Amino acid sequence: MGWFRKGGDDMPPLEEVWQTLAPQYAAAVQVRGEESVQVTGAVRGRGLLVDIESRKQTMEGWHRIGTGKRAQQVYRTWTSDLAVSCVNPHGLQGTITSFQDVNDPAWDPRGFDPSQCRKVVTDPPTLAAQLLTPSIHAQLMRPWDDLTIIVDATAVRLYTEQQANVDLGYFGGCPFHRHPDGGTMEHRFLVGPPWWIDLLCEIADAVDA
């Protein structure tokens, strides 16, 4: 997809990205370390929370995966949480999951279309009638990752824990830092979070309707 140049050397620090994005959300950025931030702000009259953290450089946080050449690549675990507040007058709770169904007979692992054999489902299924509007469904057909959005009493959130090669940093380990279209080379590190924040707000609007 052309997201990186060799080695990812042009990737700005996580802190810098969120300090750049903060003004549009009247947000405060708390830097807890080189690869750890918490952001609190507001969007469309809703509270906004972003929490991103990478495990420390310890034996527990760094490890090798696979065999051969792949085993020489060091991976790191990232936890990320993106949430917008909701009123949720009907007490809706559950999940919305977007995933590629590898058991679908049409599945082709060589394909580069994220919508190929992708399904969007809710748990419980009854949530679909209220939350999966045509717009929300169409947007959830676009991500490259399999992911689950959580609806609880007070928020709509995307929480993930992923492993990524250390060279890919937060961009490889945090799904909401990746825009489905990739973005331009110059701005690709900045366009992901606003897209995902807008999507969660749209889901929150459906929750509050």
Mean pLDDT in order along the chain per 10 residues (209 residues) = 45 93 97 93 98 68 50 77 98 96 85 86 97 97 94 97 85 90 73 96 98
Three-state DSSP state, 16? helix
Are the C-beta atoms of residues 57 and 33 closer than 8 Å to each other? no
Q: What's the number of domains the chain is made of? A: 1
Global confidence as pTM: 0.86
Structural domain of 168? 6-208
Residue 166 inside a domain? The answer is yes
Residue 1 inside a domain? The answer is no
Residue 29 inside a domain? The answer is yes
Residue-level pLDDT at 67: 54
Residue 165 inside a domain? The answer is yes
Residue-level pLDDT at 72: 53
What is the radius of gyration, based on Cα positions, of the chain?
18
Q: Residues 6 or more apart from 162 whose CB is under 8 A from it?
A: 77, 78, 80, 145, 172, 173, 174, 175
